Chain A
Amino acid sequence: MTQVDTAKLKASNRRVGRRLGGTAAIFIVLSVLGAFMVLPIYLTVIMSVKPVEELFVFPPKMYVIRPTLDNFREMFESVRQNRVPFSRYVFNSIAVTVSVTVLQCVFSSMAAFVLAKCRFPGSRFINHVIVIALLYQSNVIYIMQYMVMSRLHLIDNPLALILPSVASPMGLFLMRQSISQMPDSMIEAAKVDGAGLFRICWQIVIPNQKPALMTLIIFAFQAAWNIQAGSLVFQEQYKTLPTVVAQAASSGMARAGVAMAAAVFMLIPPMIVFILAQRYVIETMAHSGIKE
């Protein structure tokens, strides 16, 4: 099996009309552009490990002479001054992130499947409403959302951080666009075999939509990981990591080092999820020649 896979992978790179020179040129272009893209992130990482005396020297240096974890330590110290232990925030963040990501993926996958592949009264209308909802960006909505949530007694309830994010029009739109590319014949064949919609969705459609699903996981995780308590939750024991980390970092330029440490710390989990999901996306590509 693995041998076949590597053969497939190799074949995928020797497609028609690929000259080595062209591929090398692409690599160079991407590397130059990529260097510009990572520069600010590189600086963030460097500054997060710079000791105070190196942070404000002139001229500013692109490297660090004596790396230190003081900025991270200071960030944790200032969070620890709250009455709630740090692990509590970690737990809250994980609970919010996992439930939002899982529910969003499940709900959007099912809804996207029927909206892409079934015609029923109202389906065109709902498809249209989804796009309108995507375009209707407004900060007035947040106020209205707040009013709805207070009517539902959700304010200062930990569910307030989860429920508003589980139905994302963007996630649905992404999945719908991708599922619409699937050949109808696969679904019709399953229907003939007597499978219900639920089974068709989870056993045939979604397993064939891994690139889109993995992309949705990346978006959902990233958005959920950054959900802040804001004005929805006041009790310290329900707050999430981004809320307290932002508090620790928000004391002006003098604490630039701590702000950088906070940015690096918050970037790590989404980055890990991104790498795992992307690798999976690319592997499915390598296999897709075998399917059918």
Chain B
Amino acid sequence: MAGKKASRAGKLWADIKRNKGCYLMLAPFMIFFTVFTIVPVVMSLPIGFTDFDMAKPPKYVGLSNYTTLFLSDRVFIRSIRVTIVFAFLTGPVSYFLCFMLAWLINELHPKLKTFFTLIFYAPSMANVYTVWQLIFSGDINGYLNSFLLDLGLINAPVQWLTDGRYILGVTIVVQLWISLGAGFLALRAGFQNIDRTLYEAGAVEGIRTRWQELIYIVIPSMGPQLMFAAVMQIVSSFTAGTVAQNLVGFPSTDYKAHTVMTHAYDYGWVRFEMGYAAAICTILFAAMYLCNRLIGRVMKKYMD
């Protein structure tokens, strides 16, 4: 028994030694990744079970952060609802937009490709909250109000950024506007990477339209990029919060645009209750992880 174990360890060691080139190539990334990402993540998981205000050392409190969150934190329950509405509206819509736009752009002349890719990607490069504030400004000076008043669609200026009825809608519009980011660009690169010979082979086998080409050639060979875009989309729609904070203020009227991430920000940076904030983030992570597994499984089924 012991001998068997030793021989297995020996085999593993031989395996490691045989692949030492791989570890060397991996090392520069892994060193920095471990120090600046893994260690902080591993440190913040147990913080969720403590009471920690950064001044005194953390004090173990068991599950009390979690029970408080679900049983007595009304704002948290509300933030879950906001996040779900937000994620399910912006996530799939934006994912579909990323893919369709990347595909449509790919159908154009190379010069136009660069031009349109720039136009659709530019919003995620620019810092434009001030301009959106001016567009949705609540007085008659706001661009949207002035435009709608001109058309006679409204009689009085609408308080887009403070009226509880519009806050979530306005935030979703702006979020969608900046959401053609990493996923979109990765998909664009994926389209460029498809082997030309595949199209030629497809033409020989009787593919006649763009749609057939999209369904039988493009989608099956873009699995990795589609997966990348899905992960980026999950992250950006579940952790949305910055848009709302910059646009409709913090806290927003009636907590109408108060997402889980905003709640974590509130406890982490404003009230310095790190334990509580860490618990919120852990729950959010669990939700994203499940969502990612689910999507990954569906995609795998479809790709194979």
Which residues of A does B touch, CB under 8 Å? Answer: 9, 12-13, 15-18, 22-23, 26-27, 29-30, 33-34, 37-38, 40-41, 43-44, 47, 56, 58-60, 106-108, 110-111, 113-115, 118, 120-121, 123, 126, 129, 131-145, 147-149, 152, 163-164, 166-167, 169-170, 172-174, 177-178, 180-181, 196-198, 201, 211-212, 214-215, 218-219, 222, 249, 253, 256, 259-260, 262-263, 266-267, 270-271, 274-275, 278-279, 281-286, 288-289
Can you list 24 contacts pairing A with B, beta carbon distance less than 8 Å? Answer: A12-B110, A12-B196, A15-B203, A17-B207, A17-B209, A27-B108, A27-B112, A37-B119, A41-B128, A43-B131, A44-B128, A47-B134, A59-B150, A107-B28, A126-B26, A134-B235, A135-B292, A138-B281, A140-B44, A148-B36, A197-B25, A211-B189, A215-B188, A260-B130
Beta-carbon contact of B40 and A141 below 8 Å: yes
9 A-B pairs besides A120-B15, A141-B40 with CB distance below 8 A are A17-B212, A37-B180, A135-B234, A141-B41, A167-B37, A177-B224, A181-B224, A262-B127, A285-B110
Beta-carbon contact of A263 and B289 below 8 Å: no
Beta-carbon contact of A111 and B128 below 8 Å: no
Contacts A40-B132, A107-B29; A143 near B274 (Cβ below 8 A):
yes
Beta-carbon contact of B125 and A34 below 8 Å: no
Beta-carbon contact of B104 and A286 below 8 Å: no
The answer to whether the Cβ of B30 comes within 8 Å of any Cβ in the partner chain is yes
Partner of B43, one of A144, A178, A285: A144
Residues on A with beta carbons closer than 8 Å to the beta carbon of B104:
26, 29-30
Beta-carbon contact of A139 and B269 below 8 Å: yes
Beta-carbon contact of A18 and B264 below 8 Å: no
Contacts A26-B104, A27-B108; A271 near B125 (Cβ below 8 A):
yes
CB closest chain-B residue, reference A264: B126
Beta-carbon contact of A198 and B25 below 8 Å: yes
Residues on B with beta carbons closer than 8 Å to the beta carbon of A166:
32
A260 and B126 alpha carbons, distance in the complex (Å): 10
Contacts A256-B134, A288-B196; A263 near B128 (Cβ below 8 A):
yes
B151 to chain A, nearest CB (A): 12
Beta-carbon contact of A178 and B190 below 8 Å: yes
Beta-carbon contact of B36 and A38 below 8 Å: no
Beta-carbon contact of B231 and A133 below 8 Å: no
Beta-carbon contact of B268 and A47 below 8 Å: no
CB closest chain-A residue, reference B18: A120
Contacts A123-B22, A197-B25, A285-B192; A222 near B125 (Cβ below 8 A):
yes
CB closest chain-B residue, reference A143: B274
Beta-carbon contact of A137 and B131 below 8 Å: no
Beta-carbon contact of A135 and B288 below 8 Å: yes
The answer to whether the Cβ of B284 comes within 8 Å of any Cβ in the partner chain is yes
Residues on B with beta carbons closer than 8 Å to the beta carbon of A256:
130, 134
Beta-carbon contact of A278 and B117 below 8 Å: yes
Beta-carbon contact of B192 and A121 below 8 Å: no
Contacts A43-B143, A114-B25, A281-B189; A144 near B150 (Cβ below 8 A):
no
Residues on B with beta carbons closer than 8 Å to the beta carbon of A140:
44, 47, 264, 268, 274, 277-278, 281
Beta-carbon contact of B123 and A266 below 8 Å: no
Beta-carbon contact of B33 and A167 below 8 Å: yes
Residues on B with beta carbons closer than 8 Å to the beta carbon of A18:
107, 210
CB closest chain-B residue, reference A249: B130
The answer to whether the Cβ of B199 comes within 8 Å of any Cβ in the partner chain is yes
Beta-carbon contact of A16 and B203 below 8 Å: yes
A30 and B118 alpha carbons, distance in the complex (Å): 12
The proximity string for B residues 129-142 relative to A, scoring 1 for CB distances below 8 Å and 0 otherwise, is 01111110000111
The answer to whether the Cβ of B228 comes within 8 Å of any Cβ in the partner chain is yes
B256 to chain A, nearest CB (A): 21
Beta-carbon contact of B228 and A163 below 8 Å: no
Residues on A with beta carbons closer than 8 Å to the beta carbon of B141:
56, 58-60
Beta-carbon contact of A108 and B36 below 8 Å: no
The answer to whether the Cβ of B67 comes within 8 Å of any Cβ in the partner chain is no
